[in-house]
Copies of this chain bind each other. A is one copy, B any other.
Amino acid sequence: MSEELDVVRQGIDEVDRELVTLLKRRLQLVSKVGEIKSRLGIPVYAPDRERDMLEKRRSEAEKHGISPQLIEDVLRRIMRESYCSEHDAGFKCVNPSARNIVIIGGNGQLGSIFVRMFRLSGYQVDVLSRRNWETDAQRMLANPGMVIVCVPIDVTGETIEKLGSLPEDCILTDFTSVKAVPLEKMLKIHRGPVMGLHPMFGPDIASMAKQVVVCCEGRYQDQCEWVLAQMKIWGTRIERVTADEHDRAMSFIQALRHFTTYAYGYYLQKYRVDLDRLVQLSSPIYRLELMLVGRLFAQDPSLYADIILSSERNVENIMAYRDCIDEQVKMVQSYSRESFIREFLNIRDYFGSYSEQFLKESKILLDQARDSMVHNTL
């Protein structure tokens, strides 16, 4: 095109190659940090250090006339990679005297992550499933330090009942996405320490850092604390609520939201809406919304059936949602601009400062989304 342009572009390529080298050096240093942290038992995720470091880099960038948001975004992306490399060194074991950990369902997608993490932290982990129950259950469950039930929601109850009598100091816990019913069942069959956990992430995470695990206390929580301390070393954030608070919130966070996503997909399918056209003409935000709908259907239908149909509360919330849609469709049918604006402002009041915060956050995210999405539609 132009020789002049070629020369400058060669300069850019040169800078980019230096960038690759620099990234390599950084990741090597970070893996050293991982080794040291692992040896000393310091949590992987250090929010204060992260915040300080980003603040310094932002002000340095500003001095150089570079956008602080640019350097923050780039560093956050590199740090995410860093959390993954920190894994390789293994993790400090907070309870070296713990007896074996039995993970029932440890062959599953979510279970196997925890098998790996506990092993990387120096615990003896035994994996039980339907396949090896007959042959191995008796031996593995003879004197375990902890039993984790990590099986699909529809067989959680019967799995807990199959456990029989565990040693009194054994911790019993489950990873089910509802908490009240399994917790009750665990408290009934076991007299020792009991705790319900809900890891709020799918099996496709690159690292445990910054992931949320919800904890609902059952009995003798002090004896369970080492498990949470171990997870914190992995970088996990622990959120403590009661089982009832958990289930109430999940009915909105999981059941209702999955239902509305599912119903939107159903609608598009029923009317055979031209998806290619929608993708072609999408603004970034609609493309993002379409993505969040479409991705559901690449996943396991029974998982979603089980979550949505797991409680009467869910079905009640979904019915209440239907009534809201009814009300609002009537408003739209009357073409009443004033009613719409009035309701809109009520909802804004309800969202309070969250709506502005979400708008700000979504701007950053939509820019990122466009960076990667446009590529795929060209």
Instruction: Specify which of A37, A241, A329 lies most central, judged by the most chain B CB atoms within 10 Å of its CB.
Output: A329
Say yes or no for A348: interface residue by CB 8 A criterion: yes
- Please state the number of chain copies in the assembly: 2
A56 to B368, CA, bound (A): 21
Among listed A95-103, A123-131, A134-142, A258-266, interface-contacting one: A258-266
* Minimum CB distance partner of A11 in chain B: B29
How many residues does chain A have at the interface if contact means C-beta atoms less than 8 Å apart? 167
Interface residues of A in 13-35 (CB under 8 A from B): 13, 15-27, 29-30, 32-33
Q: Report how far A221 CA is from B362 CA in the complex, Å.
A: 37
CA distance A356 to B333 in the complex (A): 36
Q: How many Å lie between the Cα of A64 and that of B17 in the bound state? A: 11
Flag the segment in A110-118, A162-170, A334-342 that touches B.
A334-342
- Which residues from chain B contact A327 at a C-beta distance below 8 Å? 266
- How many Å lie between the Cα of A357 and that of B297 in the bound state? 11
A376-B292 Cα distance, complex, nearest whole Å: 22
Bound: A274/B241 CA distance, A: 13
A351 CB contacts on chain B under 8 angstroms: 265, 269, 275, 294, 297-298
Q: Are B80 and A283 touching (Cβ within 8 A)?
A: no
CB distance B321 to A80 under 8 Å? Answer: no
Q: Are B61 and A266 in contact (CB under 8 A)?
A: no
Question: A56 — nearest CB in chain B belongs to which residue?
Answer: B13
Q: Which residues of B contact A294 (CB under 8 A)?
A: 351, 354-355, 357-359
CA–CA, A16 and B51, complex, Å: 14
Q: A227 on the interface (CB 8 Å rule)?
A: no
Q: Which of the candidate stretches A143-151, A183-191, A244-252 sits at the interface with the other chain?
A: A244-252
Contact A346 B269, beta carbon cutoff 8 Å: yes
Q: Are B362 and A292 in contact (CB under 8 A)?
A: yes
CB distance from A371 to the nearest CB of B (A): 4
Min CB–CB distance A311 → chain B (angstroms): 10
Say whether B2 contacts A15, CB under 8 Å: no
Give per-residue flags for A279-317: 1 if the beta carbon is below 8 A from chain B beta carbons, else 0.
Answer: 111111110111111111111011011101100000100
B contact residues around A304 at 8 Å (CB): 340, 344
A378 is an interface residue with CB less than 8 A from chain B: yes
Q: Which residues of B contact A328 (CB under 8 A)?
A: 259, 262-263, 266
Contact B20 A60 (CB under 8 A): yes
Is the Cβ of B302 less than 8 Å from the Cβ of A53?
no
CB-defined contacts of A200 to chain B, threshold 8 Å: 281-283
Q: What is the CA–CA distance of A81 and B18 in the complex, to the nearest angstrom?
A: 19
- Chain B residue numbers with a CB within 8 Å of A308 are 332, 340
Could you pull out 13 A-B pairs where Cβ atoms are within 8 angstroms?
Answer: A8-B32, A19-B75, A20-B71, A23-B66, A24-B64, A27-B66, A74-B77, A263-B324, A267-B321, A270-B324, A291-B358, A321-B325, A357-B376
